[in-house]
Amino acid sequence: MPKTVFHTATTINGFLATDDDSLQWLFDVPTAGLEQGDLTQFMPGVGAIVMGSTTYNWVVDFENLMEHPEKWQPFYGDRPTWVFTSREQRQVPGANLRFTSGDVSEAWAQILASANGGDVWVMGGGELVGQFIDAGLLDEIRLSIAPATLVSGRPLLPRELGTNDLVLTSARQVGAFAELIYEVRR
């Protein structure tokens, strides 16, 4: 069965990025051993990707995709990539982008169909993932925890979930990262 998965790197203390959207804390971590990491195994099964507009714009700017749109394909491929936004956004030429807004439940049937039997990767940010949890649509949380902390930043998941909601199904070390996988009880 395809799953809807929040897969992300995070600091130990639950931040996805600094307040000004820097991921330098993540890029500073040695990459040795990451070819054995969860993302390498997870990505081939992903049929569609979902992200919020902050994440989308970060990717567009970081990779300079408006000038180098060919840099989209190696990672995202032709997967439908859904961007939640209430504003008009830049369209990376050639990328299979779908801009949408509002209640995630209303977009859900189209997102799932676009995944064509594959998993749906909800990349973040945390509030958008929270909207999927609120709607009972998230199956799994897969975390790569970097050896880093931040004083403040973009939150991993601003929701209250407890032991009745989350079941630890895997824990392992991959290079400098701790990888944890939780099933989300719907």
Ligand X SMILES: NC(=O)c1ccc[n+]([C@@H]2O[C@H](COP(=O)([O-])OP(=O)(O)OC[C@H]3O[C@@H](n4cnc5c(N)ncnc54)[C@H](OP(=O)(O)O)[C@@H]3O)[C@@H](O)[C@H]2O)c1
Chain positions 153 to 182 lying near ligand X, rule: CB under 6 A, are 154
Per CB under 6 A, 123 contacts ligand X: yes
Cβ-defined contacts of 103-106 (< 8 Å, 24+): 103/135, 104/128, 104/131, 104/132, 104/135, 104/137, 105/135, 105/137
Among 85, 91, 96, 110, which residue sits at the site for ligand X (rule: CB under 6 A)? 85
Residue 125 has a CB neighbour count (10 Å cut-off) of 24
Q: Please choose, out of 45-53, 67-75, 90-98, 110-118, the segment that lies near ligand X by the rule CB under 6 A.
A: 45-53
Per CB under 6 A, 16 contacts ligand X: yes
In whole angstroms, how close is the CB of 167 to ligand X at the nearest point?
23
Q: Please choose, out of 31-39, 67-75, 125-133, 166-174, the segment that lies near ligand X by the rule CB under 6 A.
A: 125-133
Q: Please choose, out of 27-35, 96-104, 164-172, 175-183, the segment that lies near ligand X by the rule CB under 6 A.
A: 96-104
Cis before 125 (ω within 30): yes
Per CB under 6 A, 81 contacts ligand X: no
Asked whether the CA dihedral 64, 65, 67, 70 is positive or negative, the reply is: positive
In whole angstroms, how close is the CB of 76 to ligand X at the nearest point?
14
Strand duo 154-155 + 15-17: pairing: antiparallel
Q: Which of 173, 185, 183, 178 is nearest to 9 (CA)?
A: 178
Distance separating alpha carbons of residues 13 and 37, to the nearest angstrom: 21
Which residue lies nearest ligand X, judged by its C-beta? 52
Q: Name the residues that contact ligand X, by CB under 6 A.
A: 8-10, 16-17, 21, 23, 26, 51-55, 58, 84-87, 101-102, 104, 123-128, 131, 154
